[in-house]
Structure 1
Amino acid sequence: MNAITPSSGPVPTGRNQTIDILRGMALVLILIVHCSFDFTGWDWTIPEEHVPELPMAALNPTVGGLVDFFLRDKARALFALMFGVSFALQLARSEQSGRSFERMFIKRMVLLAMIGLVHGHLIYYFEILRLYAMAGLLMLLLWRLPNKALLPLVGFLTVLAPIVGYGLLQALGLDFMAGRPPQSEIFVAFTSDSPREILSINHRLATSTYLPGFLIGFGMPILGNFLLGLWLARKGWLQDPMVHRKALKRLMVVGLVFGLLLQSSSLIMPQLDPASPVWLFLLLGIAFLAAAPMLMLGYVGTITLLCTHPLWIRVLRWLAPAGRMTLTHYIMQSVFAWVIFYGVGLGLYGRIGPALAVPIGLLLATFQVLLSIWWLKRYRSGPLEWLWRWAIEGLRPQWRRESHSAP
């Protein structure tokens, strides 16, 4: 029996260019979001009196609003979705080869957690590999659920669970932000030229991500998006888009239309009177949480359909090599923060807003894409992917290609 069952999806026999393109797109979008907000301190730590002094001050709110509306949370959801897809494909390959999937996958998640701990506490506090490792282990308990049970569970984890969780925390009088350093301290530390001060604040922020509020708001939706990726892989839509064009068109239309309508709640909520009925805040909160996965599915349907067109695939296939080096590039993006944005480097943190951060993010993403193409013509995998495979399998993988050919 196919390991992706219950499913109509085929067992994969090699790399799938469409799936690699989606992974590469997720990397690009995440970098743009991080550059716009986390790496610059925009809408988070920059003192209000400094905002009018930033370059292109009149454009910053508009550009930041567009990135927030169309990409924030959606890029993270796409990245998590592709993990779920990969889970299903790895499961299929393992069963086809007769190997034990569970033992190997647990080993993968333990290693992923170790990488996440080092990455989070030493380089980038808001990293998600730790949550991926925890959610991945929970996937082992849930992957056998039938398709008809997956989607309701996805809805609960991505929408209802955060609402209920935050409600319980509020009822218990717990502070969602307890343990997080004050914003003024964060701003001073990241603009400092002292590596020790940056490491210290980064560690404190990474520690605060273990608080219940963070785990509820980010951990549960990550698991939900993992399961959504599993559901998609079972359908086989991404593995063979030419066969499933009608289904992908429905996914695109429903995702984009309903996603944009739901995302409009983010424009309404700030305008509400604090005295408005609780049910109205609750309704808008549900709409807001549902918007990210819905809009993300619209993006997935759109990109996958474009991959079936000869003209578009010639453009989008440039992203595929980056999608084969996701671990390397994800860590590299955090290094960009130290070199370009923090005080130990060029010191752009707190000195620019989204209007300049988005072009910087696009330039960095272009660099990663081109680097991937160059690298994979010479080597079989990214450097961290190579070390990852060595650690998992216990055998040193082949490193170089025999000839410089296209990956």
Structure 2
Amino acid sequence: MSSTTDGRSSTERTGERLEAGQGQVRRIADVDALRGFALLGILLVNFSVMATTHHGGGLVDASFDGPLHQAWRYLSTVLLESKFYLLFSFLFGYSFTLQIRSAERAGARPVPRFLRRCAALLVIGVLHATLLYPGDILITYSILGVVLLTVRGIRPRTAVRASISVFVFCAVAFLVLGWLTWAGHLDMGGDPSRADALAAQEALRGGFGSVVGQFVSEQPGGALMTVVVQGTPAFAAFLLGLAAGKRKVLADPLRHRDLLRRIQRVGFPVGLAGSVVYAHLAKSDTGMETTGLAMAVNMLTAPLLSAAYAATVLRMLSGGRHDRLGRALAPAGRMALTNYLTQSLVMALLFTGYGFALVGRVAPVLVTAIALTLFAVQLVISRWWLSTHAYGPVEWVLRAVTNARRPRWRQRARTESG
């Protein structure tokens, strides 16, 4: 994630680097604000995952099986699950185009730069998955980033069509898997049992070795789920971001106000309806037959709801009256990688034997409240940090590896532009 101070006024919003007139470079806050918004959604989902080991197959922790807990989990599934990583993936693809242009402006070769970036993300992802959070997405991003690099010459219209085809293919594949299982032609294996969930819970409440051992043991199954359930749709979102980046759609969202309205009008009713169906099917314990249908519906409708969320935020940011929202979210978005890893560290300290070992001991509503509190703190810290530093700590390291040279650490003093 690139960063710059360009001598614009002290109220200039910060964001992704884009070209602006006569070869100058300015920053657009909307991209960073969107990334900050996506980071919040990812945090809420990850917190709910880390707080319990009762996942899949209709498993519910007996300690939190009351009507309020069930309603809260259902609402979270409808509004949050599978939505925000798609938005984050879209922004990865969009930022890819910015990084390519940045390398070209600097007279550097963009391919080696981006490959170094992917290699750094891979290393960070492996450490993250092993030590802090087994549901890491950085490893997937690093691998799919290389694939994105190979198709960077694709035309925007072709990229959009390819993205839609990938989502449809995933939906059809899940339908076929569900039908094959229902017809008895395929055995997908047993769902996780309550005994498995309790064993994992005890392991996470243990010492350092026990926690790391549990994280490592989850990697094979987690990797398969990441590739099938998240990786392929994430790449489809990469392609949409690539297309939008080539068209510089986020350089001036006001130019696309009508498009944003259409996305909202279609995305919210269709996306929410699909999410309700997905949530209803996902909570039932009927095996791959129902899961396949649930995932198929989700593959086709979650991108629409994710797009509607993004369109709503962009319209709010472009309205003038909500400038405070952009100023609050953008710094967190600029430090997204630092904040993402920090969130995982806090989750590990709260829910595992690294710290308080609260896994399975916190009600879903309270889990959400803790996550929101953490994000509020991160908003404040991010703004404070970037007032004196050019990059977030992890972003500084990533930029150093990407550009193969040491970037500046402190923020340059801002001056009023004439």
Pair in the same fold by TM > 0.5: yes
Q: 2:203 corresponds to which residue?
A: 189
SS of the equivalent of 1:124 reads coil
> How many angstroms apart in 1 are the aligned matches of 2:283 and 2:375?
35
Contact 1:378 1:405 in 2 (8 A): no
Matches within 5 A, 1:85-96: 85-96=94-105
Contact 1:39 1:349 in 2 (8 A): yes
Q: CA RMSD in A?
A: 3.0
> How many angstroms apart in 2 are the aligned matches of 1:43 and 1:60?
15
Opposite residue 269 of structure 1, the aligned amino acid is L
> How many angstroms apart in 2 are the aligned matches of 1:339 and 1:46?
24
> How many angstroms apart in 1 are the aligned matches of 2:190 and 2:236?
21
Contact 1:112 1:130 in 2 (8 A): yes
> How many angstroms apart in 2 are the aligned matches of 1:111 and 1:326?
15
Residue 51 of structure 1, CA deviation: 2.6
Q: 2:364 corresponds to which residue?
A: 354
> How many angstroms apart in 2 are the aligned matches of 1:51 and 1:150?
44
Indicate whether 1:396 and 2:395 are aligned.
no
> How many angstroms apart in 2 are the aligned matches of 1:143 and 1:176?
41
Q: How many residues align structurally?
A: 386
Contact 1:36 1:353 in 2 (8 A): no
Ranges in structure 1 where 5+ consecutive residues have no aligned partner = 1-9
Matches within 5 A, 1:81-230: 81-161=90-170, 163-164=172-173, 167=176, 173=187, 175=189, 182-192=196-206, 194-211=207-224, 213-230=225-242
> How many angstroms apart in 2 are the aligned matches of 1:255 and 1:400?
42
Residue 334 of structure 1, CA deviation: 0.8
Instruction: Name the stretch that deviates more: 116-125 or 87-96.
Output: 87-96
Indicate whether 1:63 and 2:72 are aligned.
yes
Query: Structure 1 residues 219, 364: CA separation in 2 closer, same or farther (over 3 Å shift)?
Result: same
The match for 2:381 among 344, 368, 371 is 371
Q: 2:8 corresponds to which residue?
A: none
Indicate whether 1:315 and 2:330 are aligned.
no
> How many angstroms apart in 1 are the aligned matches of 2:156 and 2:325?
34
Contact 2:282 2:291 in 1 (8 A): no
The match for 1:242 among 236, 254, 273 is 254
Per-residue CA deviations over 1:314-352 (Å, capped at 9, x if unaligned) read: 233211001111111111111011222223322321011
> How many angstroms apart in 1 are the aligned matches of 2:284 and 2:366?
31
Contact 2:331 2:383 in 1 (8 A): yes
Query: Structure 1 residues 272, 202: CA separation in 2 closer, same or farther (over 3 Å shift)?
Result: closer
Residue 98 of structure 1, CA deviation: 3.6
> How many angstroms apart in 2 are the aligned matches of 1:405 and 1:31?
35
SS of the equivalent of 2:322 reads helix
Query: Structure 1 residues 104, 135: CA separation in 2 closer, same or farther (over 3 Å shift)?
Result: same
Residue 313 of structure 1, CA deviation: 1.8
> How many angstroms apart in 2 are the aligned matches of 1:399 and 1:304?
30
Indicate whether 1:37 and 2:49 are aligned.
yes
Residue 302 of structure 1, CA deviation: 0.6
SS of the equivalent of 1:380 reads coil
Contact 2:83 2:303 in 1 (8 A): yes
Residue 367 of structure 1, CA deviation: 0.9
> How many angstroms apart in 2 are the aligned matches of 1:65 and 1:404?
47
Contact 1:22 1:303 in 2 (8 A): yes
Query: Structure 1 residues 348, 272: CA separation in 2 closer, same or farther (over 3 Å shift)?
Result: closer
Opposite residue 238 of structure 1, the aligned amino acid is L
Query: Structure 1 residues 30, 268: CA separation in 2 closer, same or farther (over 3 Å shift)?
Result: closer
Per-residue CA deviations over 1:13-67 (Å, capped at 9, x if unaligned) read: 3321000000111111111111123334465698643234xxxx44221121111
The match for 2:38 among 18, 26, 47 is 26
Residue 229 of structure 1, CA deviation: 1.2
Identity %: 28
Residue 285 of structure 1, CA deviation: 4.2
Give me the TM-score of the superposition, normalised by structure 1: 0.86
